[in-house]
C-alpha cells in the first residue's frame, strides 16, 4: 500500500474527527442544544466553551448535535444518490441502444437545470419541510453525476473478456450487471462520493442560510444563518458555524483528491 | 460543422422542453395541496377558490399544462396571484431584475478569471515548490469556504471594520457596489478554475510540441505564452463558460446577503409569498439562460477545436 500524502492524511483526520463528533457528539455535549438560559449571545467562557446564542443555548452543544445532523443528512443523500446513479449508469452502459439513450437524455435534462435552483424550488414550496423532504430534494438531482461516471465505466467493462465469458455461459443480464459490472465500477464512484459529501454539506448549509429547509434550529446551516444575522453584535456564532462547515468540507475535498490521485496516477 | 451544430441544437431544444415540463411539474411534485401550502389550511374558503382559479388549479392537468405553455408563448409567463388587487405579469418583474443579476454574474466571472489564471499559471510553472503549495492551499480554501459565510464576512471586514466599500442599500456608484458581491459569488469558481488551469497547463507542458519549442531555443516566456497557454486554456475557458449559468443560480445567496434586487431576490420573494408563478418564472428564465450559455459555449468550442466535432459525431 502506498502511503497517503500529507494533504489526504489531513483530510482523513478531519473526516474522522467529524464522524467521531457525529457519533459521540450528542453523548458528550455539555448541555441540551435547545435548553435556554438567560445568558444570551455570551462570548466563549469556561462554562460555555463556544459561548451562547441569541436564545441562550450553548453553542458547543448545538455544534455537536449539528454534526450528527450534517453527517446523517449527507450520508443519506450520498447513499441514495449513489444507489440510483450506479443502477441507472450500469443499466444504461450495459444495455446501450434505446435504454441508454433514454436514460442519458433524462440526465441531460436534469443537468440542464442549475442544481441549487432545483433544490431551492423543491424545498421552498413546502410549508414545513422535514428532514426526509430535505434529503429527497437533495437526492433528486444528486444521482446524475454518479450515473454518468457509472455509465462510462460500464460501457468499457461491457467489452471486457470476463463479461463476455459470463454472457456466453448464459448468465442473465441482471446477474451480469449485479455480479460483474457493478463491483468493478465502484472505485471511481467512491472517489466521487467523497467529494459528494462536501457538496451536500455546502448545499444544505446554503438552503438553511436562505431560511428554507432548516432541518433543526441547531443544524450548521441554521447556526450560520443566526451567526450572520448577529454578526454586527458578536462574531463568535458565525465563526464557529462557518469554521465547522469549512473544515469538514476541506477534509472531504482533501480526502477525495488523495483517493483520485491514488486511483488515477496520471492526474497527480 | 453544420451536422454538429444541428445535433447540438437538437439536444438543447430537448433540454428546453424537459426543463419546461420539470418547472411545470414542480408545483405538483411537492407534497400537499399548493393552495393550502400558500394560504395555510385555515384560510377563507373564498380566498382558496379565487387562488385556485388564478393558478389554473381548478382545471385538469392537461389543460393546466396548456395554459402554462400559452403563458410562455404569449411572453407574459402569467400573472402574479399573491396580490389579487395588483396583478403584474411575471415577465415585467423578471425584466426589472434580470439586468441586475446578469451584471453581477458577469462581474463575478471577471473576478474568478482575474484570480484563477495568475494563480493556476504560477503554480503550474513552479510545480512542487512553496509557491505551488501556497497557490494550491489557497484554491482549496476557496473551494471549501461556504459562500453564505464569505459574503457576511466580507461585509463585516470591508464595510463595518474598514469601510472601504458601500454596504447593502447604500447610495454609491454601481461599480463600487459590485465589488464585494462579485468577490463573494466568484470565489468558488475562481478556486475551481485555478485548479483546472494548473493541471491543464502541467499536462500541456509535457507535450512534444512544447519540448520542440524549447529545443528550438525559444525564451521560456514565449514557450509558455505562445505555445503552452493557448492550448491549456481552451478547456478552462470552456468550463468557465459553462459555469456562467451556475453563477446566475448562485446569485440567489449573494443577492440576499447584499440586498440586490435581482432574479434571486425575486425568487426568494416569490417563495416568501408562496407565489408559484414567480418561482416558476424565475426558475424557467435562469434554467433557459443556462441551456443557452451551454449551447453557445459548445458551438464556440466546436468551432475552435475540430476534435470536439468529430468526437460528437462518433
User: Based on the domain organization, do B121 and B220 belong to the same domain?
Assistant: yes
Of A106, A114, A249, the CB nearest to B287: A114
Q: Which tens digits make up the pLDDT trace of B79-124?
A: 887 777 778 888 899 999 999 999 999 999 999 999 999 999 989 8
Cα B237 to chain centroid, rounded: 15
Q: Across chain B, what does the average pLDDT equal?
A: 84
The answer to the question of residue A4 being in a domain is no
Residue B25's contacts (CB-CB under 8 Å, 6 or more residues apart) are: none
The answer to the question of residue A202 being in a domain is yes
Helix, strand, or coil here: A52?
A: strand
Which of A74, A107, A117, A225 would best serve as a mutation to test chain B binding (most B beta carbons within 10 A)?
A: A117
Q: Taking CB atoms and an 8 Å limit, are B290 and A120 in contact across chains?
A: no
The alpha carbons of chain A give a radius of gyration, in whole angstroms, of: 22
Residue A46 touches partner B, C-beta closer than 8 Å: no
The answer to the question of residue B1 being in a domain is no
The answer to the question of residue A57 being in a domain is no
More confident position, A217 or B153: B153
Q: Taking CB atoms and an 8 Å limit, are A114 and B147 in contact across chains?
A: no
Cα B83 to chain centroid, rounded: 30
Q: What is the mean pLDDT of residues B168-195?
A: 89
Give the end of a domain, one of B40, B74, B108.
B74
The answer to the question of residue B13 being in a domain is no
* Cα A13 to Cα A19: distance, rounded to the nearest angstrom: 10
Q: Is the dihedral of CA A70, A73, A77, A79 positive or negative?
A: positive
User: Based on the domain organization, do B154 and B235 belong to the same domain?
Assistant: yes
Q: Taking CB atoms and an 8 Å limit, are A112 and B37 in contact across chains?
A: no
| Count of domains for chain B | 2
User: Based on the domain organization, do B43 and B134 belong to the same domain?
Assistant: no
The answer to the question of residue A1 being in a domain is no
Q: Which chain A residue has its CA at the smallest distance from B263's CA?
A: A117
The answer to the question of residue B149 being in a domain is yes
The answer to the question of residue B82 being in a domain is no
Interface of B with A in 86-105 (CB under 8 A): none
The answer to the question of residue B12 being in a domain is no
The answer to the question of residue A268 being in a domain is no
The answer to the question of residue A74 being in a domain is no
Q: What residues form DSSP beta bridges with A264?
A: none
- pLDDT confidence of B185, banded at 50, 70, 90? very high
* Cα A209 to Cα A227: distance, rounded to the nearest angstrom: 10
Q: What residues form DSSP beta bridges with B79?
A: B89
User: Based on the domain organization, do B281 and B255 belong to the same domain?
Assistant: yes
The answer to the question of residue A31 being in a domain is no
Of B37, B160, B252, the CB nearest to A120: B252
Give the end of a domain, one of B50, B74, B98.
B74
User: Based on the domain organization, do B112 and B65 belong to the same domain?
Assistant: no
**HEC-encoded secondary structure of chain B:** CHHHHHHHHHHHHHHHHHHHHHHHHHHHHCCCCHHHHHHCCCCCHHHHHHHHHHCCCCCCHHHHHHHHHHHHHCCCCCECCCCCCCCCEHHHHHHHHHHHHHHHHHHHHHHHHHHHHHHHHHHHHCCCCHHHHHHHHHHHHHHHCCHHHHHHHHHHHHHHHCCCCCCCCCCCCHHHHHHHHHHHHHHHHHHHHHHHHHHHHHHHHCCHHHHHHHHCCCCHHHHHHHHHHHHHHHHHHHHHHHHHHHHHHHHHHHHHHHCCCCHHHHHHHHHHCCCHHHHHHHHHHHHHHHHHHHHHHHHHHHHHCHHHHHHHHC
| Count of domains for chain A | 1
Cβ-Cβ contacts under 8 Å between A and B: the total is 134
Q: Taking CB atoms and an 8 Å limit, are A122 and B29 in contact across chains?
A: yes
User: Based on the domain organization, do B62 and B106 belong to the same domain?
Assistant: no
The answer to the question of residue A30 being in a domain is no
The answer to the question of residue B156 being in a domain is yes
Q: Apex CA A155: angle with CA A154 and CA A158, to 5°?
A: 75
| CATH code of B140's domain | 1.10.3720.10
The answer to the question of residue B181 being in a domain is yes
Interface of B with A in 124-183 (CB under 8 A): 140-141, 143-149, 151-153, 155-156, 160
User: Based on the domain organization, do B54 and B178 belong to the same domain?
Assistant: no
Residue A225 touches partner B, C-beta closer than 8 Å: yes
CB atoms within 10 A of CB B140: 20
Q: Which residues of B touch A204 (CB under 8 A)?
A: none
The answer to the question of residue B24 being in a domain is no
Of A118, A210, A246, the CB nearest to B146: A246
User: Based on the domain organization, do B222 and B280 belong to the same domain?
Assistant: yes
Q: Which tens digits make up the pLDDT trace of B112-147?
A: 999 999 999 989 888 888 988 899 889 989 989 998
Domain that holds residue B45: 32-74
Least trusted range by pLDDT, from A49-63, A70-84, B43-57, B171-185: A49-63
User: Based on the domain organization, do B47 and B95 belong to the same domain?
Assistant: no
Q: Name the grid cell of B93.
A: 418583474
Helix, strand, or coil here: A96?
A: coil
Contact A98, A157 (CB under 8 A): no
* Cα A221 to Cα B242: distance, rounded to the nearest angstrom: 28
| CATH code of A197's domain | 1.10.3720.10
Domain that holds residue A245: 79-263
pLDDT tens track, chain A, 268 positions: 556 778 888 989 999 998 998 888 787 777 777 777 767 667 777 676 777 777 767 778 888 888 888 899 999 999 999 999 999 998 888 887 888 888 888 888 888 777 888 888 888 767 677 888 889 888 988 899 899 888 888 888 888 888 888 888 888 888 888 888 888 888 888 888 988 899 999 998 898 888 887 777 788 888 888 888 887 777 888 888 889 999 999 999 999 888 888 776 554 4
Cα torsion A107, A112, A113, A115 to 10°: value is: 60
Nearest to A254 by CA among A3, A13, A2: A13
Whose grid coordinates read 468577490? B183
Of A109, A117, A246, the CB nearest to B286: A117
A141 DSSP 8-state letter: T
Contact A237, A226 (CB under 8 A): yes
User: Based on the domain organization, do B184 and B96 belong to the same domain?
Assistant: yes
* Cα B79 to Cα B71: distance, rounded to the nearest angstrom: 9
User: Based on the domain organization, do B99 and B57 belong to the same domain?
Assistant: no
Amino acid at each position: 500500500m502506498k502511503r497517503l500524502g500529507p494533504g489526504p492524511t489531513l483530510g482523513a483526520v478531519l473526516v474522522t474527527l467529524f464522524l467521531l463528533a457525529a457519533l459521540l457528539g450528542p453523548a458528550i455535549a455539555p448541555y441540551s442544544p435547545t435548553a435556554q438560559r438567560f445568558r444570551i449571545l455570551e462570548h466563549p467562557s469556561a462554562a460555555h466553551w463556544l459561548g451562547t446564542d441569541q436564545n441562550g443555548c450553548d453553542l458547543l452543544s448545538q455544534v455537536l448535535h449539528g454534526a450528527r445532523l450534517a453527517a446523517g443528512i449527507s450520508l443519506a443523500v450520498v447513499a441514495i444518490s449513489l444507489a440510483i446513479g450506479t443502477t441507472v449508469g450500469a443499466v444504461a452502459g450495459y444495455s446501450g441502444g434505446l435504454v441508454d439513450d433514454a436514460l442519458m437524455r433524462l440526465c441531460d435534462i436534469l443537468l440542464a437545470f442549475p442544481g441549487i435552483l432545483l433544490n431551492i424550488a423543491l424545498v421552498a414550496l413546502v410549508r414545513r419541510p422535514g428532514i426526509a423532504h430535505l434529503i429527497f430534494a437533495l437526492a433528486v438531482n444528486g444521482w446524475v453525476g454518479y450515473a454518468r461516471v457509472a455509465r462510462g465505466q460500464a460501457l468499457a467493462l461491457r467489452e471486457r473478456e470476463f463479461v463476455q465469458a459470463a454472457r456466453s455461459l448464459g448468465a442473465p443480464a441482471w446477474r451480469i450487471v449485479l455480479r460483474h459490472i457493478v463491483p468493478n465500477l465502484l472505485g471511481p464512484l467512491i472517489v466521487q462520493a467523497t467529494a459528494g459529501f462536501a457538496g451536500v454539506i455546502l448545499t444544505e448549509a446554503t438552503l438553511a442560510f436562505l431560511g428554507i429547509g432548516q432541518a433543526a434550529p441547531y443544524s450548521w446551516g441554521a447556526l450560520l444563518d443566526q451567526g450572520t444575522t448577529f454578526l454586527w453584535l458578536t462574531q463568535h456564532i458565525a465563526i464557529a458555524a462557518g469554521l465547522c462547515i469549512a473544515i469538514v468540507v476541506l477534509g472531504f475535498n482533501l480526502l477525495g483528491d488523495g483517493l483520485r490521485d491514488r486511483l488515477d496516477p496520471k492526474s497527480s | 460543422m453544420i451536422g454538429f451544430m444541428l445535433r447540438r441544437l437538437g439536444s438543447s431544444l430537448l433540454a428546453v422542453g424537459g426543463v419546461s415540463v420539470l418547472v411545470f411539474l414542480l408545483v405538483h411534485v411537492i407534497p400537499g395541496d399548493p393552495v393550502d401550502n400558500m394560504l395555510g389550511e385555515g384560510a377563507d374558503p373564498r380566498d382558496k377558490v379565487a387562488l385556485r382559479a388564478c393558478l389554473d388549479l381548478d382545471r385538469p392537468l392537461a389543460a393546466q399544462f396548456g395554459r402554462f405553455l400559452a403563458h410562455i408563448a404569449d411572453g407574459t409567463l402569467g400573472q402574479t396571484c399573491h396580490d389579487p388587487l395588483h396583478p403584474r405579469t411575471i415577465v415585467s418583474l423578471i425584466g426589472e431584475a434580470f439586468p441586475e443579476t446578469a451584471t453581477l454574474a458577469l462581474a463575478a466571472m471577471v473576478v474568478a478569471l482575474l484570480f484563477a489564471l495568475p494563480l493556476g499559471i504560477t503554480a503550474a510553472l513552479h510545480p512542487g515548490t512553496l509557491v505551488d503549495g501556497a497557490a494550491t492551499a489557497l484554491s482549496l480554501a476557496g473551494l471549501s469556504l461556504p459562500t453564505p459565510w464569505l459574503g457576511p464576512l466580507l461585509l463585516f471586514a470591508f464595510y463595518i471594520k474598514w469601510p472601504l466599500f458601500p454596504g447593502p442599500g447604500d447610495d454609491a456608484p454601481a461599480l463600487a457596489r459590485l465589488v464585494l458581491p462579485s468577490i463573494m459569488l466568484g470565489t468558488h469558481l475562481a478556486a475551481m478554475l485555478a485548479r483546472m488551469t494548473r493541471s491543464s497547463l502541467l499536462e500541456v507542458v509535457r507535450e512534444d510540441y512544447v519540448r520542440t519549442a524549447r529545443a528550438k531555443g525559444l525564451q521560456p516566456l514565449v514557450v509558455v505564452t505562445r505555445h503552452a497557454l493557448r492550448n491549456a486554456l481552451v478547456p478552462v475557458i470552456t468550463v468557465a463558460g459553462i459555469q456562467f449559468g451556475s453563477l446566475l443560480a448562485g446569485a440567489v445567496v449573494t443577492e440576499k446577503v447584499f440586498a440586490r434586487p435581482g432574479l434571486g431576490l425575486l425568487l426568494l420573494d416569490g417563495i416568501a409569498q408562496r407565489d408559484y408563478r414567480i418561482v416558476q418564472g424565475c426558475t424557467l428564465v435562469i434554467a433557459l439562460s443556462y441551456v443557452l450559455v451551454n449551447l453557445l459555449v459548445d458551438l464556440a468550442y466546436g468551432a475552435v477545436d475540430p476534435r470536439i466535432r468529430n468526437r460528437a459525431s462518433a
